[in-house]
Amino acid sequence: MTKAESSHLASQKLIDQLDQERLPQHIAIIMDGNGRWAQKRFLPRVAGHRAGIKSVEAAVTICRKIGIRALTLYSFSIENWNRPKAEVDTLMQLLEEYIHKELARMKRENIRCNVIGRLEDLPVSVQKAVEKVIRETRDNEAMVLTLALSYGSRTEITQAVKGICQDLLKGNIALEEIDEDLFGQYLNTSGLPEPDLLIRTSGEFRISNFLLWQIAYTELYFTRKLWPDFQENDLLLALLDYQKRERRFGLTGQQLASREIR
Protein backbone atom coordinates (compact mmCIF):
# COMPACT_ATOMS: atom_id res chain seq x y z
CA MET A 1 0.00 0.00 0.00
CA THR A 2 1.37 3.41 -0.95
CA LYS A 3 1.61 6.31 1.50
CA ALA A 4 -1.22 8.09 -0.33
CA GLU A 5 -3.46 5.02 -0.17
CA SER A 6 -2.70 4.57 3.53
CA SER A 7 -3.54 8.21 4.23
CA HIS A 8 -6.79 7.94 2.26
CA LEU A 9 -7.77 4.82 4.22
CA ALA A 10 -7.03 6.56 7.53
CA SER A 11 -9.12 9.56 6.46
CA GLN A 12 -12.05 7.37 5.50
CA LYS A 13 -11.94 5.61 8.89
CA LEU A 14 -12.13 8.99 10.63
CA ILE A 15 -14.95 10.16 8.35
CA ASP A 16 -16.89 6.99 9.17
CA GLN A 17 -16.71 7.92 12.87
CA LEU A 18 -18.29 11.33 12.32
CA ASP A 19 -21.93 11.93 13.23
CA GLN A 20 -23.21 13.55 10.04
CA GLU A 21 -26.09 15.10 11.99
CA ARG A 22 -23.71 17.01 14.29
CA LEU A 23 -21.26 18.53 11.86
CA PRO A 24 -20.51 22.22 12.40
CA GLN A 25 -22.01 24.56 9.85
CA HIS A 26 -19.06 26.93 10.03
CA ILE A 27 -15.39 26.26 10.81
CA ALA A 28 -12.90 29.09 11.28
CA ILE A 29 -9.15 28.53 11.30
CA ILE A 30 -6.23 30.63 12.54
CA MET A 31 -3.48 29.27 10.30
CA ASP A 32 -0.35 29.78 12.38
CA GLY A 33 3.18 28.43 12.22
CA ASN A 34 4.42 28.81 8.65
CA GLY A 35 7.52 30.73 9.68
CA ARG A 36 8.45 28.33 12.49
CA TRP A 37 7.90 25.37 10.16
CA ALA A 38 10.46 26.84 7.75
CA GLN A 39 12.86 27.82 10.53
CA LYS A 40 12.91 24.27 11.88
CA ARG A 41 14.02 23.10 8.45
CA PHE A 42 16.57 25.92 7.97
CA LEU A 43 14.49 27.26 5.08
CA PRO A 44 13.45 30.82 4.26
CA ARG A 45 10.06 31.87 5.67
CA VAL A 46 8.58 31.94 2.17
CA ALA A 47 9.03 28.16 2.02
CA GLY A 48 6.74 27.87 5.05
CA HIS A 49 4.12 30.06 3.40
CA ARG A 50 4.23 27.96 0.23
CA ALA A 51 3.87 24.79 2.28
CA GLY A 52 0.97 26.39 4.12
CA ILE A 53 -0.94 26.78 0.86
CA LYS A 54 -1.03 22.98 0.55
CA SER A 55 -2.68 22.81 3.96
CA VAL A 56 -5.26 25.36 2.79
CA GLU A 57 -6.03 23.13 -0.17
CA ALA A 58 -6.32 20.10 2.12
CA ALA A 59 -8.69 21.92 4.49
CA VAL A 60 -10.93 23.06 1.64
CA THR A 61 -10.92 19.55 0.15
CA ILE A 62 -11.99 17.74 3.31
CA CYS A 63 -14.58 20.38 4.28
CA ARG A 64 -16.14 20.19 0.84
CA LYS A 65 -16.05 16.40 0.93
CA ILE A 66 -17.88 15.97 4.22
CA GLY A 67 -20.36 18.80 3.68
CA ILE A 68 -19.17 21.73 5.79
CA ARG A 69 -21.17 24.74 4.65
CA ALA A 70 -18.72 27.54 5.57
CA LEU A 71 -14.97 27.69 6.10
CA THR A 72 -13.23 30.92 7.14
CA LEU A 73 -9.43 31.22 7.02
CA TYR A 74 -7.44 33.93 8.80
CA SER A 75 -5.16 34.57 5.87
CA PHE A 76 -3.59 37.97 6.58
CA SER A 77 -4.23 40.19 9.59
CA ILE A 78 -3.98 43.96 9.81
CA GLU A 79 -1.01 43.44 12.13
CA ASN A 80 0.77 41.37 9.46
CA TRP A 81 1.49 44.59 7.54
CA ASN A 82 4.16 45.24 10.19
CA ARG A 83 6.23 42.29 8.97
CA PRO A 84 9.33 42.89 6.79
CA LYS A 85 8.33 44.36 3.42
CA ALA A 86 9.96 41.51 1.48
CA GLU A 87 7.85 38.95 3.37
CA VAL A 88 4.65 40.96 2.92
CA ASP A 89 5.32 41.32 -0.81
CA THR A 90 5.85 37.57 -1.09
CA LEU A 91 2.65 36.86 0.82
CA MET A 92 0.69 39.13 -1.51
CA GLN A 93 2.21 37.38 -4.51
CA LEU A 94 1.33 33.94 -3.11
CA LEU A 95 -2.20 35.12 -2.33
CA GLU A 96 -2.72 36.33 -5.88
CA GLU A 97 -1.32 33.08 -7.28
CA TYR A 98 -3.62 31.04 -5.03
CA ILE A 99 -6.73 32.98 -6.04
CA HIS A 100 -6.00 32.65 -9.76
CA LYS A 101 -5.18 28.96 -9.39
CA GLU A 102 -8.21 28.03 -7.29
CA LEU A 103 -10.84 29.88 -9.31
CA ALA A 104 -11.39 26.94 -11.67
CA ARG A 105 -11.70 24.55 -8.74
CA MET A 106 -14.21 26.77 -6.96
CA LYS A 107 -16.34 26.87 -10.09
CA ARG A 108 -16.06 23.12 -10.55
CA GLU A 109 -16.88 22.28 -6.92
CA ASN A 110 -19.61 24.90 -6.49
CA ILE A 111 -17.66 26.89 -3.85
CA ARG A 112 -18.42 30.57 -3.34
CA CYS A 113 -15.47 32.77 -2.44
CA ASN A 114 -16.03 35.50 0.10
CA VAL A 115 -13.49 37.99 1.46
CA ILE A 116 -13.61 40.04 4.66
CA GLY A 117 -11.27 42.79 5.85
CA ARG A 118 -9.87 46.05 4.53
CA LEU A 119 -9.58 45.12 0.86
CA GLU A 120 -8.50 48.65 0.00
CA ASP A 121 -5.20 47.94 1.80
CA LEU A 122 -4.27 45.19 -0.67
CA PRO A 123 -2.16 45.79 -3.80
CA VAL A 124 -4.29 46.72 -6.82
CA SER A 125 -3.50 43.45 -8.64
CA VAL A 126 -4.65 41.44 -5.60
CA GLN A 127 -7.81 43.55 -5.32
CA LYS A 128 -8.61 42.77 -8.95
CA ALA A 129 -8.01 39.05 -8.43
CA VAL A 130 -10.27 39.10 -5.36
CA GLU A 131 -13.02 40.99 -7.17
CA LYS A 132 -12.87 38.52 -10.06
CA VAL A 133 -13.12 35.37 -7.93
CA ILE A 134 -15.97 36.86 -5.89
CA ARG A 135 -17.84 37.87 -9.04
CA GLU A 136 -17.37 34.57 -10.86
CA THR A 137 -18.33 32.36 -7.89
CA ARG A 138 -21.15 34.46 -6.42
CA ASP A 139 -23.88 32.02 -7.47
CA ASN A 140 -22.15 28.91 -6.07
CA GLU A 141 -24.01 27.31 -3.19
CA ALA A 142 -22.27 24.17 -1.90
CA MET A 143 -19.81 25.93 0.42
CA VAL A 144 -18.63 29.45 1.30
CA LEU A 145 -14.87 29.87 1.55
CA THR A 146 -14.11 33.14 3.33
CA LEU A 147 -10.60 34.61 3.29
CA ALA A 148 -9.88 37.16 6.02
CA LEU A 149 -7.46 39.63 4.38
CA SER A 150 -6.04 42.71 6.08
CA TYR A 151 -8.58 41.78 8.74
CA GLY A 152 -8.77 42.77 12.39
CA SER A 153 -11.81 42.18 14.54
CA ARG A 154 -11.46 45.37 16.59
CA THR A 155 -11.37 47.38 13.37
CA GLU A 156 -14.39 45.46 12.09
CA ILE A 157 -16.36 46.17 15.29
CA THR A 158 -15.35 49.84 15.26
CA GLN A 159 -16.52 50.19 11.65
CA ALA A 160 -19.80 48.49 12.54
CA VAL A 161 -20.39 51.01 15.35
CA LYS A 162 -19.65 53.88 12.95
CA GLY A 163 -22.08 52.42 10.40
CA ILE A 164 -24.85 52.13 12.97
CA CYS A 165 -24.23 55.69 14.19
CA GLN A 166 -24.37 57.04 10.65
CA ASP A 167 -27.65 55.26 9.93
CA LEU A 168 -29.04 56.42 13.27
CA LEU A 169 -28.19 60.04 12.49
CA LYS A 170 -29.71 59.73 9.01
CA GLY A 171 -32.90 58.30 10.46
CA ASN A 172 -32.50 54.98 8.66
CA ILE A 173 -32.78 53.09 11.96
CA ALA A 174 -34.29 53.89 15.37
CA LEU A 175 -32.43 53.53 18.66
CA GLU A 176 -34.93 50.88 19.76
CA GLU A 177 -34.01 48.73 16.74
CA ILE A 178 -30.38 48.30 17.80
CA ASP A 179 -29.81 44.82 19.18
CA GLU A 180 -27.36 41.96 18.66
CA ASP A 181 -29.00 40.82 15.44
CA LEU A 182 -28.89 44.28 13.91
CA PHE A 183 -25.29 44.78 15.03
CA GLY A 184 -24.34 41.54 13.27
CA GLN A 185 -25.68 42.93 10.00
CA TYR A 186 -23.02 45.66 10.09
CA LEU A 187 -20.14 43.20 10.48
CA ASN A 188 -18.05 41.85 7.60
CA THR A 189 -19.51 38.40 8.24
CA SER A 190 -23.13 39.44 7.76
CA GLY A 191 -24.98 36.57 6.11
CA LEU A 192 -22.68 33.87 7.50
CA PRO A 193 -23.59 31.66 10.46
CA GLU A 194 -21.44 32.23 13.52
CA PRO A 195 -18.53 29.76 13.70
CA ASP A 196 -19.29 26.54 15.55
CA LEU A 197 -15.63 25.57 15.75
CA LEU A 198 -12.45 27.67 15.79
CA ILE A 199 -9.15 25.86 15.20
CA ARG A 200 -5.75 27.39 15.91
CA THR A 201 -2.53 25.66 14.95
CA SER A 202 1.09 25.98 16.22
CA GLY A 203 0.47 25.64 19.95
CA GLU A 204 -0.46 29.27 20.61
CA PHE A 205 -3.46 29.78 22.91
CA ARG A 206 -4.88 33.12 21.84
CA ILE A 207 -7.44 34.52 19.40
CA SER A 208 -5.25 37.23 17.82
CA ASN A 209 -8.00 39.73 17.03
CA PHE A 210 -10.02 37.26 14.95
CA LEU A 211 -13.84 37.22 14.88
CA LEU A 212 -14.11 38.48 18.46
CA TRP A 213 -17.85 39.19 18.26
CA GLN A 214 -18.70 36.10 16.24
CA ILE A 215 -17.02 33.48 18.47
CA ALA A 216 -18.94 34.24 21.67
CA TYR A 217 -20.19 30.63 21.82
CA THR A 218 -17.74 28.98 19.46
CA GLU A 219 -15.94 25.79 20.51
CA LEU A 220 -12.15 26.34 20.54
CA TYR A 221 -9.63 23.71 19.45
CA PHE A 222 -5.88 24.23 19.79
CA THR A 223 -3.21 21.98 18.33
CA ARG A 224 0.59 22.12 18.52
CA LYS A 225 0.89 21.17 14.86
CA LEU A 226 2.32 23.92 12.71
CA TRP A 227 0.00 24.93 9.87
CA PRO A 228 2.00 23.30 7.03
CA ASP A 229 1.81 20.00 8.95
CA PHE A 230 -1.96 20.28 9.51
CA GLN A 231 -3.58 17.92 7.02
CA GLU A 232 -6.99 16.38 6.33
CA ASN A 233 -6.76 13.84 9.16
CA ASP A 234 -5.90 16.59 11.65
CA LEU A 235 -9.05 18.50 10.74
CA LEU A 236 -11.09 15.32 11.06
CA LEU A 237 -9.63 14.71 14.54
CA ALA A 238 -10.64 18.26 15.48
CA LEU A 239 -14.18 17.51 14.31
CA LEU A 240 -14.33 14.30 16.34
CA ASP A 241 -13.21 16.24 19.41
CA TYR A 242 -15.87 18.88 18.69
CA GLN A 243 -18.58 16.22 18.52
CA LYS A 244 -17.69 14.99 22.02
CA ARG A 245 -18.55 18.38 23.50
CA GLU A 246 -21.89 19.48 24.92
CA ARG A 247 -22.81 22.91 23.59
CA ARG A 248 -25.10 24.38 26.23
CA PHE A 249 -25.33 28.08 25.27
CA GLY A 250 -25.92 29.00 28.91
CA LEU A 251 -28.37 26.15 29.62
CA THR A 252 -27.84 23.22 31.97
CA GLY A 253 -27.22 19.69 30.76
CA GLN A 254 -30.67 18.72 32.05
CA GLN A 255 -32.34 21.44 30.01
CA LEU A 256 -30.57 20.28 26.86
CA ALA A 257 -31.56 16.67 27.51
CA SER A 258 -35.17 17.76 28.03
CA ARG A 259 -35.12 19.63 24.71
CA GLU A 260 -33.77 16.58 22.89
CA ILE A 261 -36.47 14.35 24.39
CA ARG A 262 -39.17 16.79 23.28
The verdict on residue 174 lying in a domain is yes
The string over 172-210, giving b where at least 16 C-beta atoms fall within 10 Å of a residue's C-beta and e elsewhere, is eeeeeeeeeeebbebbbbeebebbbbbbbbbeeeebebb
* Average pLDDT for runs of 10 along the chain of length 262: 77 95 97 97 96 97 97 98 96 96 97 98 97 98 98 98 98 97 98 98 97 98 98 97 85 61 51
Q: How many domains does the chain have?
A: 1
The verdict on residue 158 lying in a domain is yes
The verdict on residue 13 lying in a domain is no
Residues carrying an active site annotation: 32, 80
The verdict on residue 253 lying in a domain is no
The verdict on residue 18 lying in a domain is no
Do 246 and 256 touch, CB atoms closer than 8 A? Answer: yes
Residue 8 confidence (pLDDT): 78
**Domain range for residue 63?**
24-244
- 143-151, strands of its sheet edge to edge: 111-116, 143-151, 70-77, 26-30, 197-200, 219-222
DSSP H or E stretch at residue 6:
helix 3-17
The verdict on residue 256 lying in a domain is no
User: Which domain CATH number covers 199?
Assistant: 3.40.1180.10
The verdict on residue 259 lying in a domain is no
Residue 32 confidence (pLDDT): 98
**Whether the predicted model's global pTM rises above the 0.85 cut:** yes
Residue 157: exposure state from Cβ atoms within 10 A (0-12, 13-18, ≥19) = middle
Residue 259 confidence (pLDDT): 58
